[in-house]
Amino acid sequence: MNKTIVFASTNEGKIREVKEMLEPMGYTILSLKDLNLEVTHPEDAETFEGNSKIKAEDIASKCDYPVLSDDSGLMIDALDGFPGVHSARWMEGHSYDEKNQVLIDMLKDKPNKKASYVTVITYLDKKRGIEKCFLGTNNGEIASTIDPNPINGFGYDPVFYSYDLKKTFSQATPEEKDACSHRGRAIKDVAKFLSTLED
């Protein structure tokens, strides 16, 4: 089978994580920037799976490679799952430091700080008629302060304390994060699935 896959993202952190996990299996991962492509269909679904499929199908219509796409977000129990599917677009134009501080402030008087990172990754190979979704989650809570000295990570990582790692994602090495993060878990399932496909 063709071992080149397009990852439908411009997020450098996500691209790095996917490459770290799939390139050792012999896959070549191309980003949208590599092919000068962009997702033009609005990501207007109400679920991670819906938005992931929108991105995969949009990019698959513009190239001849199999496509991987993900839609991820942070879901906070005390805020009824907010920001959820709006995680990337909420407070658009503001930095993640600003967004993270607003989340901390929103939870200031709430005893329940529990949260989970969720991702759905879609694999779409239109030539073979394959479309499959993979779910990954990681449970934790929102920290009371933004990590002042992050060593890794991006987005909400400086305020997400992972129960698995016993530290924020921003204090985890790439290897530690890949081993148990929401995206890491989903990509592991993608890798298992890819290994079952016959040439």
Domain residue ranges of the chain, discontinuous segments joined by +: 4-196
CATH for 4-196 is 3.90.950.10
Active site residues: 71
Give the list of residues 6+ apart from residue 80 with CB closer than 8 angstroms, or none. none
- What pLDDT sits at residue 51? 96
What confidence tens digit (pLDDT) does each residue in 43-59 have? 899 999 999 999 999 99
Closest residue by Cα to residue 131 from 49, 13, 21 = 49
Q: Residue 32 — very low, low, confident or very high, per pLDDT cuts 50/70/90?
A: very high
Please report the pLDDT score of residue 197 as a whole number. 85
Q: Which residues pair with 120 in a beta bridge?
A: 71, 135
How far, rounded to the nearest angstrom, does the alpha carbon of residue 4 sit from its chain's CA centroid? 20
- In terms of C-beta density within 10 A (0-12 exposed, 13-18 middle, 19 or more buried), how is residue 21 classed? buried
- Outline where the chain has alpha helix (H): 12-22, 32-35, 48-60, 96-106, 174-180, 182-196
Query: If you average pLDDT over residues 121-131, what whole number do you get?
Result: 96
pLDDT at 58: 97
Task: Give per-residue pLDDT as tens, 155-177.
Answer: 999 999 999 999 999 999 989 99
- Predicted confidence at residue 153, as pLDDT, reads 86
- Of all residues in the chain, the percent with pLDDT exceeding 90 is 85
Q: What is the pLDDT of residue 199?
A: 55
pTM to 2 decimal places: 0.90
For 109, residues 6+ apart whose C-beta sits below 8 A from its C-beta are none
**What is the predicted pLDDT for the residue at 13?**
86
Strand 160-162 and strand 4-7: the pairing is unpaired
CA 30 to chain centre: 16
pLDDT tens readout for residues 88-103: 889 999 999 999 999 9
H helices then E strands: how many in the chain?
A: 6, 7
Cα-Cα-Cα-Cα dihedral sign, residues 135, 167, 153, 97: positive
So what's the pLDDT on residue 115? 98
CA-closest candidate to residue 117, choices 153, 69, 64, 63 = 153
Write phi, then psi, for 9 (nearest 5 degrees).
-150, 155
Best mean pLDDT range from 17-21, 48-52, 181-185: 48-52
3-state secondary structure of 113: coil
